[in-house]
A and B are shown apart, each in its own frame.
Chain A
Amino acid sequence: MSEPFDERVEWRDLPLDTSTLEERLAGCWRQAAESVAGGLLRASSLTLLVPLLEEGLRERVSDMLAQVATQDPCRVILVVQAEAEPRASLAAHLRPASGGRPPIYWEEICLEAPGRALPRALSAAGALALPNLPVQVWWPGDADLAGPFFQRVAEIGDRIIVDSGQFVHPLTGLGQYAERMEDQRGTVSCVDLNWRRLQTWRILLAQFFDAPDDRAFLNYLDSMVVGYERAADGSPRGYAQALLLLAWLASRLGWTVAAERLGRSQDLEELVFDDGGRWVRVELRRTVTTESGASGLTSAELRAMHDGQSGIFSVERNGWQGTSTAQVGEARRELVVHLPPNSDADLLRAELASFGRDRIYEDALGLIRALTQQAATTSPLR
């Protein structure tokens, strides 16, 4: 028996040479297998490629990877823009067995290179991707979605995960993401952690219309008001979520962007949609400024008039709690609902688990692209 396998074994300052890296990793796992009674049973379900072009993200990304890889054992390949000459480091990780669950093993390859040598690092990443398994790309931070590097990364991946909550210009960024998605013609699926943050809101709004009696109101919506926070640090996550919620509802109900755009101020954006000849007025309201970057939606309200009855359906958030209210005519129903803030690691875990395209998100992106085209002709983009 060899020395016991530690929970993390690493090598630094290795040449950026794929044969050397594979040999080192194979040797590490051989050594680990000898130290584990009964041998070592290891599985990988994917390669996770993580481009890190922004400074200051490394620690957050490492924390998230540690949480994610215990659920989806994988080979993580980080491509990091750095000042130094191209080099690599390796780490092999173990989450020990506990509570009747077997141990989980995963490995991390970090390829560092200055900007000019990033294509070389990326070519090594492509060669190091595990054969016969999907490659998912997680792009933390803002992304130059129109740039050539994003294009190269997209060629390696089967699926791209961005976080539009990190986009500095959400409307532009989402519009570009929609364009990239179209360029790939369905060969690469495009998803978004910020979209997943909206899931609870989508469920709560959808629930208003599960009852056949109330469902008819969906045909007669005349207004939608979405409230969002913008963090004091400038994070536009709330605005991106408001856009996505609007785009989701509009795309599900077949609304199209009307030529007319009502107005925009710092705290209010007014839009008009065409629902088969009927106008639907939409307001995106910035309601609060939060202290931290954890901004999001604060409220969503839908109003309709059908058969002489008014219907008002709203969800309001207050911390982790919220109130879901349906008022149809005189009848009012109010429920306390739970709006938990999912951690970014939870969101990424959930996204990795649901491999495949998200047609609903793609439809919503398509609508946002139409909005960007309209915005380009009427006013400066955000």
Chain B
Amino acid sequence: VRALLSVDNPLREGLHAETVADPCVVVIFGATGDLTHRKLLPALYDLAAEQRLPTGVSVVGFARRPFTDEQFQADAAETIKKFARNPFQEATLEGLLPGIRYVQASFDQTDGYQQLAAVCAELDRERGSRGNRLYYLATAPTAFGVIIEQLGRAGLVEGRGNGRAPGGWTRIVVEKPFGHDLASAQALNEKVAAVFQEDQVYRIDHYLGKDTVQNILAFRFANGIFESLWNREHIDHLQITVAETLGVEGRGPYYEESGALRDMVANHMLQVLSLVAMEPPVALDATAVRDEKVKVLRAIHPMSPAEVARRTVRGQYGPGAIDGQPVPGFRQEERVTPDSTVETYVALKLLVDNWRWAGVPFYLRHGKRLPKRSTEVAVQFKPAPQLLFGQGDSAALEPNVLYLRVQPNEGIALRFGAKVPGPGMQIRSVMMDFGFGTAFGRAPADAYERLLLDAMQGDASLFIRRDEAESAWRLISSILDGWQHQPLPNFPNYEAGTWGPKAALDLLAREGRSWARL
């Protein structure tokens, strides 16, 4: 008798998901909302279509709207047809539908949770999910607390995150924002911790599910040639840009509560920064990867008000033009107060105070209504130590820059100097360019597919740990506090369709640098 069999399933070896997801019941709170329709249900379908879901996965929608099981199934079928990435196949849907149920209740309604328990138990019996539960909070953040309390009170949180206890595992996926400052993030985390163990909690930032963001890890740690250059000896500075051409698209009330700093920098951009700056993890597992990421975030010290004044710029767009079309200013957008003081642009200079990065600035900028949509990391290297070529011959010589393009035109490019053919020694910058789209013809999976499957498999590597979330908020809160001590800029201070306020250009110009051309 093979002793190994008591631990691992030998038939799983070599199959595309060796660490296989257990059959489970996915309970979606906010099942009639936009996130469920546009992302979660299509992602589950796409996983099923590519045979990445284990048989026996069920989905229970939990929301206030009065649906029957059949109505929710019909609603799910419609949204899948509309938003799924894979071509629609009736047979795939028919495999999913028997496991789709609905519980109609408001989030604070105790008997709704009793009903949920009964439905899940029935699904366990019918579909072999053995008590495994994945709760997904696809609701407004204001509902997080009450749902978590009710789950605890109803006895619906058993087992552990990764345990193989007879009662199965229980995990919860929490959508961002995880609070709106350090105090509220800590309060939310306390509520979560009162009911769930940390290894059961999956704080989701869909940016981490993007192939191109994960490629930052692959680029750094699957290639031998770059890591030796990845430090203060060779790198002059780094820039992380998330530029959007869109405005607030009807999300005015939400945006006025958050602003550019909370909406983009506090999560997506600091996550990208931590992947770019982290030390090599000892393993590609949740603990090792997140240990290294959190060290980076802890090495970025909160700013004093004086530092905030010196190292941050905020802006708000006024009327202008995008792609040749006139667009309103932020204060003229629908559902935005006419004297709003919320920032739609932010530029920061951050310092990662550790041995690798001491003295190397990380410049971050994010804005709405900028001329181009682009997310990229630009790593500018120090110039060659000695200029062999006369200035006249190399007037156009620029420093080497490595561009990690997250979207669009996903890929990697390296700028370097090359000799222009002909007499003399004239040097010109050229680009060596790798495009995901030209090298790999297949379309990438949606970030939610990867993250949902990871949560089912108990792999939290691409989710945010409590200390990461709080470290990020510690920095962001210091900036928010600093802004309270400063006079408000004269908003609007940049025209829609331009690259932000002049002060953002000055932030780099006074250090002899400039923003990357996008």
Contacts and interface: CB of A to CB of B under 8 A. Distances in A.
Interface of A: 41-43, 45, 69-73, 95, 100-105, 199-200, 202-207, 209-212, 215-216, 218-219, 249, 252-254, 276, 320-321, 324, 326, 333, 335-338, 340, 349, 353, 358-361
A210 B442 contact: no
A335 B5 contact: no
Nearest to A350: B16
Interface string B4-23: 01100111111110001011
Nearest to B18: A206
Given A215-B5, A338-B89, 19 more contacts: A42-B438, A43-B435, A45-B439, A72-B440, A95-B441, A103-B438, A104-B438, A104-B441, A202-B11, A206-B12, A207-B55, A210-B12, A212-B164, A252-B13, A320-B89, A336-B94, A336-B95, A353-B442, A361-B14
A207 B54 contact: yes
Contacts of A337: 55, 95
Interface of B is mostly: loop
Contact of B13 (A103, A212, A360): A360
B439 A199 contact: no
Nearest to A364: B14
Given A203-B15, A216-B5, A219-B1, A210 B54 contact: yes
B11 A209 contact: yes
Contact of A101 (B1, B14, B434, B443): B443
Q: Which of B49, B98, B440 has the largest number of chain A CB atoms within 10 A?
A: B440
B501 interface: no
A205 B5 CA distance: 15
Contacts of B442: 71, 349, 353
A340 B89 contact: yes
A103 B439 CA distance: 10
B130 interface: yes
Contacts of A216: 5-6
B92 interface: yes
B280 interface: no
Interface string B437-477: 11111110000000000000000000000000000000000
Interface in B21-54: 22-23, 48-49, 51, 54
B66 interface: no
What are the 7 A-B residue pairs with the smallest beta carbon separation, nearest first?
A: A360-B14, A71-B441, A206-B11, A102-B437, A320-B91, A338-B95, A43-B439
Contact of A324 (B16, B51, B55, B433): B55
A279 B440 CA distance: 48
14 contacts: A41-B433, A43-B438, A69-B441, A73-B439, A102-B435, A199-B16, A204-B55, A206-B11, A216-B5, A219-B2, A320-B89, A335-B55, A338-B48, A358-B14
Contacts of A253: 2, 10
Interface in B81-128: 89, 91-92, 94-95, 98, 126-128
B92 A340 contact: yes
B56 interface: yes
Nearest to A276: B1
Chain A: interface secondary structure?
Answer: mixed
A122 B358 CA distance: 57
B424 interface: no
Contacts of A203: 15, 51
Contact of A202 (B15, B435, B440): B15
B409 interface: yes
B89 to A, nearest CB: 7
A143 to B, nearest CB: 24
Contacts of B2: 219, 253-254
A66 to B, nearest CB: 12
A74 to B, nearest CB: 10
Contacts of A204: 55
